[in-house]
Amino acid sequence: MDVQTDFLVIGTGIAGLSFALQAAQLGSVAVVTKRKKDDTNTNRAQGGIAAVLDQVDDFALHVNDTLVAGAGLCHEDVVAHIVREGPRIVRQLVDWGVQFTLTSQGTLALGREGGHSHNRIVHAHDLTGAEIERALLAAIQQCPDVTIFENHVAVDLITEHHLPGRRPARHVTCWGAYVFSAEENRVSRFLARRTVLATGGTGQAWRHTTNPDIATGDGIAMAYRAGARVGNLEFMQFHPTTLYHPHERSFLISEAVRGHGAVLINDRGERFMDSVHPMKSLAPRDIVARAIDREMKTTGKPCVFLDITHVDPDSVKARFPNIYNKCLSLGIDMTRQPIPVVPAAHYMCGGVVVDITSRTDILNLYACGEVALSGLHGANRLASNSLLEAVVMANGAIQDIRQSGLARTPLPEIPAWDDSDVFDVEEWILLRHDIEEIRDLMWDYVGIVRSDVRLRRAHHRLELIWKEVEEFYRRAKVNAELIELRNMACVAALVVRCAMERKESRGLHFNTDHPLSDERFHHDTLLRARPIRRRKSMPPPHSINGKISEYHEIPGVSTPLRGEF
């Protein structure tokens, strides 16, 4: 079933839904999501939204906290803009039905997290993301012009590369995406005048992650293949505190627990962060994660501990009911015993390059949320700035569209997806091995602490996996697993390329061979696929199942771009 709308939104987290709610006032909206509509990174967010709402706080302090955490790579104009929008964004979410936690006086309760100098985290107990997801989906249900397509996986953006006999113009244009329906087991055209990438993060490329299964870097990979710049992918934020349990998946222990008084200790009960940073256990995430990694390697222990037993038990249970019950289900009473914790891949600070209105390099294509590189986070995201950024940037896209107008000119004739020359391949065991190998390589070689040798080894193997997967993709009938593997292989290789470009240590990127920051690398790391110089013998890209992008080489040769965007 082909679909044509004014807007196509890929993703149902806070960025995608907040855009869709406003876009519905301008035209018809199709929203596609890989699994169920609430299966998002947003739904798992515990902490909250950073906003200046206290009289003793001010914008300048929030901006400064963000810049300090970002280790010199934040774009100050972007930081100032997003921070100043904070109070308005909170009011906007309340108007959409989000029920934040209130004080006994009926005002918004404000918590504190690592790197923040004041209490400014608006939250809904320890399930803020779930509450936001609930409210936005409920609001969407009241919008007749918005249709959500569950179990639909975007395969590739539709651009000039898919048009028969047409060379890409100087500026590539997006007209929607080819989308695979898991229920119908086929690929359809989702055509749109404006397309928004809100696909979330890349955490599933690492062995241990707080992210749900959907976080396979789809938006970054699709945008890169279409010719957009991507960047700062070396800056994966590892959340310092996820529950350590040998038989459980990583479960986030919110930074707000430390903001409520919890301290990090080792197996001897020592508060090891006290000697690491002036903010102790509330230091920025990159510093805390490396300190935990060092403590584990020094002691040989598989984890450290988060101790909040000295805080009033009733206040802990009231503030963190979800975390308390989860720990209790595993035999850990956090009010009586420390919580075993380890770091895990959590948030991608890089992404698809966008301007302040969320426009990418590709005409009619926007990106907002974790998939985008706006310049807010720099080399390390300040806690609870991400949900704020997602709504601000979605609003920016809406404002840009209102100002530029929504042209009603006919869309070009887009070829239907053609899989007549492909077949079902039986070698799925090889693909599953590729997924596991990618995760192990990224965790072992491109984790919290890196080195030139580790990066070279990862680069060599990941480039080969990327090429193997692309070759498999060309001849195989697509399904959701293959699409995700293709995107994971692409993004993992791009992360390593960015990391190899940065011959220093800054923020979330720590290289033991270059342990200090270097002013020569005081810029964003940007990559763009290099156009193919076509040979006469090469078939036109549309003639092979609509699968080959004319723009990128396989396995995609990136051109390092210096300087800020």
Q: Give 233-291 pLDDT, tens digit per residue.
A: 999 999 999 999 877 777 889 888 998 999 999 999 999 999 999 999 988 888 999 99
Residue 286 pLDDT = 85
Please enumerate in sequence order all residues whose Cβ is within 8 A of that of 460, keeping only pairs 6 or more positions apart, or say none. none
In this prediction, residue 539 carries a pLDDT of: 35
The whole-number pLDDT of residue 544 equals 34
- Residues 6 or more apart whose Cβ sits within 8 Å of residue 246: none
Query: What pLDDT does residue 46 have?
Result: 82
Asked if 427 and 190 touch (Cβ cutoff 8 Å), the reply is: no
Q: What is the DSSP string of 3-46?
A: EEEEEEEE--SHHHHHHHHHHTTTS-EEEE-SSSTT-SSGGG--
- Quick one: DSSP state of residue 409? P
Q: What is the pLDDT of residue 164?
A: 78
- In contact, 35 and 202? CB cutoff 8 Å: no
pLDDT at 562: 41
The amino acid present at 202, given as its one-letter code, is T
Q: Which has the closest alpha carbon to 374: 385, 383, 363?
A: 385
> CA angle, 345 as apex, 341 and 348 as ends, to 5°?
145
Question: Cα separation of 470 and 485, whole Å?
Answer: 10
Contact status, residue 540 vs residue 161, Cβ threshold 8 Å: no
The position carrying tokens 């015993």 is 337
Domains, the chain: 1-45+130-235+349-565 (3.50.50.60), 241-342 (3.90.700.10)
3-state secondary structure of 287: helix
Q: Is 363 exposed, middle or buried (0-12, 13-18, 19+ CB in 10 A)?
A: middle
Could you tell me if 130 and 123 are in contact, meaning their C-beta atoms sit under 8 angstroms apart?
A: no
| Residues classed as catalytic | 285
Question: Which amino acid does the sequence have at 162?
Answer: H
H/E element, 298: helix 285-299
pLDDT at res. 307: 97
* 490: amino acid identity, one letter: C
Q: Is residue 489 within 8 Å of residue 438, measured between CB atoms? A: yes
Cβ atoms of 527 and 494 closer than 8 Å = yes
Retrieve residue 437's tokens. Answer: 């190998």
Residues forming beta bridges with residue 307, ordered by sequence position:
263
Q: Please state, in angstroms and rounded to a whole number, the distance separating the CA atoms of residues 466 and 485.
A: 9
Closest C-alpha to 203, from 447, 392, 457? 447
Report d(CA 239, CA 397) in Å as an integer: 29
DSSP codes, 447-485? SSSB-HHHHHHHHHHHHHHHHHHHHHHHHB---HHHHHH
User: Six-digit token pair at 210?
Assistant: 């707080």
State whether the Cα torsion 154-24-196-170 is positive or negative: positive
Residue among 203, 210, 510 at smallest CA distance from 349:
203
Radius of gyration over alpha carbons of the chain, in Å?
23
CA-CA distance, 116 to 322, in Å (whole number)?
23
pLDDT score of 517 = 96
Q: Are 232 and 508 spatial neighbours (Cβ–Cβ below 8 Å)?
A: no
- Structure confidence at residue 205 (pLDDT): 96
Intervals of the chain under pLDDT 70:
165-170, 424-428, 530-565
Write the DSSP string, 146-187. Answer: EEEETTEEEEEE--GGGSTT----SS-B--EEEEEETTTTEE
> Which residue carries 């492909």 as its tokens?
422
Taking the C-alpha atoms of residue 376 and residue 378, their distance in angstroms, rounded to an integer, is 6
pLDDT for the residue numbered 530: 67
- Element containing residue 241 per DSSP (H, E): strand 236-243
For residue 424, the model assigns a pLDDT of 66
Answer for the pair 464, 551: CB distance below 8 angstroms, yes or no: no
Number of CB atoms found within 10 A of residue 516's CB: 8
CB hemisphere CA count around 128 (13 angstroms): 31
pLDDT on residue 168:
55
